[in-house]
Structures are given as structure tokens and as C-alpha cells.
Amino acid sequence: MHRLAAIILKEFNQIKRDKRTLLLLIFFPAFLLLIFGYAIDFDVKNVEIGVLDLDNSKESREFIEKFTLYDHFILKYHLNTFKEIDYYLDSGLATLCIVIPEDFSDELKQGDNVSIQIIIDGTNSNVGMTVLGNLRAYITDYSNNLSANALKKVGIHKEPVPVELIPRVWYNQELKSAKFLIPGLIGFIMMIVCVITTALSIVREKERFTIEQISVSPIRPHELIIGKTFPYMIISLITMILIIILGIILFDVTIKGNLIYLFVTSLVFIIGALGLGMMISAITDSQQVAFMVSIIVTMLPSIILSGFIFPLNSMPKIIQFISYIVPLRYYLVILRSIILKGSGLISFWDQLIYLTIFSSIMIIVSSIKLKKIL
Amino acid sequence: MNNDISIYVEGLTKRFGDFTAVRDVSFEVKKGEIFGFLGANGAGKSTTIRMLIGILEPTSGYAIVGGYNIIENVEMVKQSIGYMSQRFSLYEDLTAKENLNFYGGIYGLDEKELKNRVSWAVEAADLSDKEDVLAGELAGGWKQRLALSCALLHKPKIVFLDEPTSGVDPISRRNFWNLIQSITDEGVTVFVTTHYLEEAEYCNSLAFIHNGEIITKGTPSALKKNVIKRKVFEIESQEPDKLIDCFKAEEFVDDISILGLKVHIIPNREDINKDYISGFLKNKSLEFKKIDEIEPSLEDVFIELIKLKRENV
């Protein structure tokens, strides 16, 4: 007990003295949160559109005006010639151009089918798809209203649409991507912080040869391992709480689920990440190399292969298969279940088992590896 | 085994692949003595120490350290020894006191004992006004004494000091040796490696290691008598350079070395004495203050040993 306490105390003293790292541990996550929270936004809003109204009638103006009632679109440019469409799309000033034909109002009055031309900048496929979807919905709505009115005129008061869609969005009602990203961000930041701090703290002892002095003492390997990782576990938990508080303040995140579940599952994940950090420290000899390896092992897979940003379901089978070795994948499902859905153990017990397996393997293998250098 | 023996080494060998770092090394160290383990860099000193302190397993042979076998009972060996490496192994970002608390703690000292031992260490190492100074900001001599105190906190029966005085100024070195002598007075055995051969004079017993093998061992005075059988003369002069030029041409002089204003010569004939040399110098009308027949230094012994070894090969 005395030996374990001595190591923990020493580790905290060193952390306390290393102000730069301490600040980094606190501000780096906050910084990432701001960057990811504000910059990564899959919501397509404020699409600037140009309109070439060849009809210039009461009906066409009404049609256009209705666009602006949606906050998806901003009517920015009134065009006069087809040439101008090329210019506005090429220069990126407008994402979308609408052409209303000369006979728009006449055809409508006669009850004929009217065609409207829409030209979308498809460079960003995501934005293009979303805009197209929004437009379809808007125009269907508009047409249905017209048909209903027309039917009313002839005395038929019937629902014009046989099948109607009544959408209810659960969990993230406003469909905000920031809310979806925050649980992932918590996992992502914890992964990086845990792995790097642990790896560096042990490699630093190797670099300065203090590890030799420790290995001459009668300290047991498990005491050293627990003593060295415990302080970083505490720091990681503080970091997590900090991110959550920032998420609540800045992005209206609410934790719908049980805080105890959140705490326990996070602990399992943190232990696994600390184990990974120890593993890196066992196989590297300098802080620089350990840092590089930690970044490569944590950053890329956690961003790309965990479902943090890109949905795993739409990836090729082989890549989905590789993603099973990325621990964040499991933790993410758990975090999203608890924070966004507020669901219980029933919805993530399998993920928790995988995560526990991962953490156990990490701790066992890294302990064996570290024992060899002690 | 004899109760007076603190370290007993029998046929200790360490091979790394094809390379034999330590070959069939045997010696014993008595309780409470300062044992000097001497040799050039790469001779096998550190490898031997690392085996004795339980962090490197020998290929063959064994050793009993403080009553415990280094192979079967590593934990007990570790608890009964202290170790100070040439790099001092202090946490430079911790204060002197925090270093002491940490090293005392990992040896399992309880709070009360730790407090006692830390205040002992602060006094012994003369650190009383430097307790709260970061170890990295201490000068070499202080660092060295702090490192030694860290190794002594748990009252080990034996301390291993690997090149403890490297990179430390001469006055600090003398203070350090005084400290070492005071701990042997309390019955602690000191096992020390050094390449400062004049420091080896502080040792009660010595062993020379060369290419992984022990080439000789014994007390400093016995080594001087047994290894160098010829006489050594010391001549003090204001013009040592002229003396050297002159001796170089003479067939009766075997070896010449110079230490400041003192010239050492080893003649190759038994019949040469002080009178012969002074007559020779007067004859050449060379100035000198005095001539003495002296005891050879350990440096002379070491150089002679290596020379003999080469001749044998």
C-alpha cells in the first residue's frame, strides 16, 4: 500500500509541476470540442439560390416567395438570362438555380402539368442530395395544395394524397449534427488523452533512466502499473466531465440516460485506452516515437473507423470488418445510447462485453510486456 | 557460509548471443568493507552489478547477496540492497524532499519511519536548506549526495554504487567519500565501481576486471606489492621536461611518467638506488630538489596489469 501510494503521489506531483501538459490536457479537449462542434455540421442550411423567373406573374412570385419561408433556402439572386446561371453556379455564389418557364401561370390556370427546371451544384454530394430532398418535399407540398384547391372548386372535399408521411424524429429531435457528434467526440478525446499521457509518462522514465532505479526496488509490477495509470484515469474522468459540461453549455446536449452507466462504461473504456498507452510505452524508447505511435494508433482509426463521423453501415464489408478492432466503435454505441437515447443496459450490453474484452486484453498484454522491461 | 561474508559470487557468467560480457567471475566481499570493482569502460563492470542487484539474470553461476540467492530470491535481494547508478536517477522535476519521499515509499517505509529516515538523509547529505529545491536545479555534488541518500533510506545492508563520482568536482568527491566511509562505520557494505583509480585507495579490497574476467584481486597495498616488483622513484624538479628528455635516452630506465613537477621512473635493474640516480643527475648537471623511493600508485598497478595481460596473450 505504501509503495502504491508513493507512486501515485509522485505522479501527481510531476503532473502538477508540468504546467504545460496540464493546460494541454484541459484545453486541448475544449479546443477539439469547439472545432468539431462548430465546424463539422452536416446540416444543410442557408443554401443560397438564384431564380430566373421568365414568367414574372403573380403565381410565379408567390411560388418563389414560399421558398423563403424555409430556413433551408435564401433567395439571393434574381437572374435575367440563362448565361447568368452558368456564372452563379461556376463561381459558387449560388448552390441552386431555379428556372420558371414563361408559361408557368398560364399552364397552371389551364390545369396542365408544369415543369420547373432546377440546376444543383453537385460538387458536394452530401449538400446536393439534401437540397434535392428538401426541394422535392417543398414542391410536392405545393402541388398537393394546388390539387386540393382545384378539387374543392369542383366540390370534392377529399384528402388529395392517398399515403401521407407523418415523421417523428426521436432522440435528436431537431436533427442537429452537433448533438450527434458530441458523444463521439467525448470518446475520441478520451482515447487520445489516455493513450498519449500514459505512453509518455512511462517512456519518460525510460528516457531518464529512473525506470532502472524503480526496477531495483522491491516494487511489484502491478503496483507500478496501477500507480502510474491511476492518476491519468482520474484526469481522463475530469476531462470527460469537462467536455460534457461544455457540450451542455454550448450545444444544448442533455444526458438522457443514467449517469452511473455512463461512469462505469467510461471507466471500462478508459482502462482499455490506458492499457494501449502502456503497450506503446513498452515497445518504444523515446517520447517522440511514443507520441507519434500514439497519434497514429488513436487518431485515424477513431475518426474514420469508429462511426464517429462516417456511418459504418455504408462502408465496404472488409472495412467494416477492420473496424471491429477499434475500441471507440463499441464505446460510441454505448455513449450514444446513454446520452442521446437515454436507453439502458439492454441496448448496449453486447457492446459493453466487446469493450470489456478489449480492455482486458490490453491490460494483460501490456502488463506482460512491461514486466519484461522492469 | 561464513557469517562475515556479505556478497559471495561463484562462477558468474553472462552471455549476450556470441558475446561473453562476464566470464566465470568469482569473488567475495566482507561485511562492512568498501569493495572496489575496477576496470575500463566495457570491461563488464555494469553487467556484473546488474546481475548482483537482480535486474539481469546470469547465464550461469550464482551469487549470494545479503544472504539471499540472486536467482531464487530476487525480491529479498532487492529489499536488502541500495543502488545508485552513475546517472543518479533522480526525478529532476521533483524537489529533493519529494525524491526522498518517493524512493522511501517504494521500499515500503511507513509514514513514521519515512519521516525519520528523510530527516536523517537531509542531515547526512547536508541538504537542510535545499529540501524544496528541484533536483534538476541542484549542483552535481548535491545531486550525487541526494541520490546516495535515496539509496540508503530503507537501511540496506549493502549499497551498490555504479560510478558514483562521475561528473562531480574534486571537493564534492572528497565529501562523498567521507559520507561513504561513515556509512561503513555503521556496518553497511559498499560495492563501488569507479574509473578514478586514486579513489580506489579508499577501498578496503579491490578486484580488477578486464574483458569480462577478473585479472587480480586483493587489498590496495597487497596489489601494489605483488604486481609491481620493481622500485619506483619520484624526483622533484623545477625542470621536469629536461629530466624526461635525459631519462628517455638512458637504457637503465624502463618507464617514465610525469605528475606536475614530479617525475616517476621505474628502473630496470635492482641495484639502482637513490644515490645512483642523484649521481647520474649531478653528472649531467641537471637541477632537482629531492629523490624518493615511493610506493607505486594504483594507476601504475592497473597499467602494469593490462601490460602483463597483453604480453601473455
Q: What would the 3-class secondary structure string for A15-82 be?
A: HHHCHHHHHHHHHHHHHHHHHHHHHCCCCCCCEEEEEEECCCCHHHHHHHHHHCCCCCEEEEEEECCH
| Direct distance between the N- and C-terminal alpha carbons of chain A, in angstroms, rounded to an integer | 19
Inform me whether the C-beta atom of residue A18 falls under 8 Å from chain B C-beta atoms: yes
Shortest Cα–Cα distance, B149 to chain A (Å): 13
Measuring CA to CA, which residue among B99, B57, B29 is closest to residue A213? B99
Q: Do residues B114 and B210 both lie within one domain?
A: yes
Shortest Cα–Cα distance, B139 to chain A (Å): 18
Partners of A215 on chain B (C-beta within 8 Å) are 55
By CA distance, what is B111's nearest residue in A?
Answer: A2
Q: Do residues B10 and B154 both lie within one domain?
A: yes
Instruction: Write the DSSP string, B74-113.
Output: HHHHHHHEEEE-TT----TTSBHHHHHHHHHHHTT--HHH
Supply the ipTM of this predicted assembly.
0.78
Reported as a pLDDT band with limits 50, 70 and 90, residue A161 is low
Sign of CA dihedral B3, B6, B11, B14: positive
Q: Do residues B161 and B244 both lie within one domain?
A: no
Q: Do residues B98 and B198 both lie within one domain?
A: yes
Q: Do B105 and A18 touch (CB under 8 A)?
A: no
Q: Do residues B28 and B169 both lie within one domain?
A: yes
Reported as a pLDDT band with limits 50, 70 and 90, residue A64 is confident
Task: Tell me the backbone φ, ψ of residue A89, rounded to 5 degrees.
Answer: -75, -45
CATH number at residue B286: 3.30.70
Partners of B105 on chain A (C-beta within 8 Å) are 2-3, 5-7, 9-10
> Which phi-psi region, left, alpha or beta, contains residue B24 (left: φ > 0; alpha: ψ -120 to 50)?
left
pLDDT of B36 reads 94
Q: Give the pLDDT confidence of A77-120 residue by residue, as tens digits.
A: 888 888 888 888 888 888 888 898 888 888 888 877 888 888 88
Reported as a pLDDT band with limits 50, 70 and 90, residue B100 is very high
Q: Do A212 and B55 touch (CB under 8 A)?
A: yes
Q: Do residues B141 and B32 both lie within one domain?
A: yes
Chain B residues bordering chain A (beta-carbon distance below 8 Å): 53-55, 75, 78-79, 81, 83, 85, 87, 89-94, 98, 101-111, 114, 134, 150
Interface test with B, best of A1, A4, A8, A10 (most B CBs within 10 A): A10
pLDDT at A160 over 60: no
Q: Give the pLDDT confidence of B35-46 residue by residue, as tens digits.
A: 999 988 888 898
pLDDT of B220 reads 87
All cell numbers assigned to B283 = 653528472
Identify whether B306 is part of a domain.
no
Q: Give the pLDDT confidence of A229-251 residue by residue, as tens digits.
A: 899 899 888 888 888 888 888 88
Q: Do residues B133 and B204 both lie within one domain?
A: yes
Q: Do A10 and B98 touch (CB under 8 A)?
A: yes
Q: Which of A2, A17, A216 sits opposite B53 (nearest CB)?
A: A216
Kindly list the distances between the CA atom of residue A111 and the CA atoms of A66, A103, A150, A325, in Å, as whole numbers in the listed order. 20, 12, 8, 60
Domain range for B257: 230-295
Q: Do residues B240 and B220 both lie within one domain?
A: no
Identify whether B13 is part of a domain.
yes
Name the average pLDDT for chain A: 85
For each of the domains in chain A, give its residue range(s) and CATH number, in order of start: 19-41+176-373 (no CATH), 47-153 (3.40.1710.10)
Q: Which of A3, A9, A210 sits opposite B108 (nearest CB)?
A: A3
Q: Do residues B188 and B86 both lie within one domain?
A: yes
Taking CB atoms and an 8 Å cut-off, how many pairs form between chains A and B? 74
Percent of chain B with pLDDT over 90: 43
Q: How far apart are CA B157 and CA B170, in angstroms?
A: 28
Q: How far apart are CA A142 and CA A120, in angstroms?
A: 20
For residues A355 and A331, the answer to whether their CB atoms sit within 8 Å is yes
Q: Do residues B247 and B203 both lie within one domain?
A: no
Q: How far apart are CA B270 and CA A122, in angstroms?
A: 105
pLDDT of A158 reads 65
Identify whether B62 is part of a domain.
yes
Identify whether B114 is part of a domain.
yes
Q: Do residues B118 and B218 both lie within one domain?
A: yes
Q: Give the pLDDT confidence of B116-132 residue by residue, as tens digits.
A: 999 999 998 888 899 99
pLDDT of A118 reads 87
Measuring CA to CA, which residue among A157, A10, A140, A13 is closest to residue A66? A140
Q: How far apart are CA A195 and CA A362, in angstroms?
A: 12
CATH number at residue B169: 3.40.50.300
Residue for grid cell 629530466 = B243
Q: Give the pLDDT confidence of A5-18 residue by residue, as tens digits.
A: 999 999 999 988 88
Q: Do B106 and A18 touch (CB under 8 A)?
A: no
Q: Which of A2, A13, A218 sits opposite B94 (nearest CB)?
A: A13
Beta-bridge partners for B294:
B232
